């Protein structure tokens, strides 16, 4: 996963997909996010559950433990290692869902620049990405998206993909009190398969993080 995503719908649209009846504490706002080119280190809307119930927050994309000052904060965590490695140990119990409209990958197709692709669900619903993070309400907060090996045709676009859950699995992922080993098995085995997604070429304008707008997600030719 190359570290750029789209998140242009509003929180109410994202929450509606989960079909959860409780009232979500919305710390993001009621308006559509209108972010078509979201870069790492910027605030991203995430959904999670704390001791008071479900909530939506804006959290910085990227996290590292306090002792890892020799490297940039990662934005992704590999599903094969995340539950057991020392790097993410402190935040593994703090699970969230990052609802995205899609994400971008860049492919070397022999041209002067790598060709960007936008990947999204074929059914038009948001992709509910498995995430973990620090949500203490201070300057050290951040989150990462969990990734797995790509499957099917997605391999041609990138060798990694976010772990995306169906709504019922997403709700189980963020449920309070889930044992760590069960959460690991969900992440390893219950991600949506490649056929759920479509991917297509988009304008190279997305390469500039300052560019925004719905034109960035329009296909430049027929979709995959």
Q: Is 88 helix (H, G, I), strand (E, B) or coil?
A: coil
Is position 105 annotated as part of the catalytic site?
A: yes
Distance CA 115, CA 207 (A): 10
Q: What three-state secondary structure class fits 100?
A: strand
Residue with tokens 């990462």: 144
Please name every residue paired with 144 in a beta bridge, in sequence order, or none if there are none: 132
Q: Which two tokens stand for residue 32?
A: 């559509």
Pairwise CA distance, residues 57 & 25, whole Å: 9
DSSP string, 183-219: HHHHHHH-SPPGGGEEEEE--GGGGSTT--SGGGGS-
Strands 142-149 and 76-78: parallel
Check 22, 51, 105, 109 and give the catalytic one.
Answer: 105
φ and ψ at residue 124, rounded to 5 degrees: 85, -5
- Asked if 199 and 157 count as a contact pair (C-beta separation under 8 A), the reply is yes
129 carries an active-site annotation: no
Q: Catalytic positions, please?
A: 2, 105
């Amino acid at each position: 996963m190359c570290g750029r995503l789209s998140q242009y719908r509003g929180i109410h649209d994202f929450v509606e997909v989960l079909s959860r009846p409780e009232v979500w504490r919305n710390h993001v706002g009621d308006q559509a996010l209108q972010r078509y080119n979201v870069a790492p280190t910027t605030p991203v809307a995430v959904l999670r559950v704390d001791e008071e119930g479900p909530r939506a927050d804006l959290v910085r994309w990227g996290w590292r433990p306090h002792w890892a000052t020799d490297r940039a904060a990662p934005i992704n965590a590999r599903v094969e290692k995340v539950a057991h490695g020392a790097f993410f140990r402190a935040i593994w119990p703090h699970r969230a869902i990052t609802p995205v409209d899609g994400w971008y990958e860049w492919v070397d197709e022999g041209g002067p620049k790598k060709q960007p692709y936008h990947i999204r669900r074929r059914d038009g619903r948001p992709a509910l990405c498995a995430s973990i993070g620090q949500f203490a309400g201070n300057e050290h907060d951040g989150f990462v998206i969990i990734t797995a090996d790509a499957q099917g045709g997605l391999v041609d676009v990138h060798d990694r993909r976010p772990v995306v859950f169906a709504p019922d699995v997403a709700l189980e992922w963020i449920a309070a009190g889930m044992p760590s080993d069960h959460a690991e098995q969900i992440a390893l085995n219950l991600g949506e398969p490649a056929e759920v997604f479509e991917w297509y070429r988009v304008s190279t304008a997305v390469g500039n993080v300052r560019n925004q707008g719905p034109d960035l997600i329009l296909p430049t030719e027929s979709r995959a």
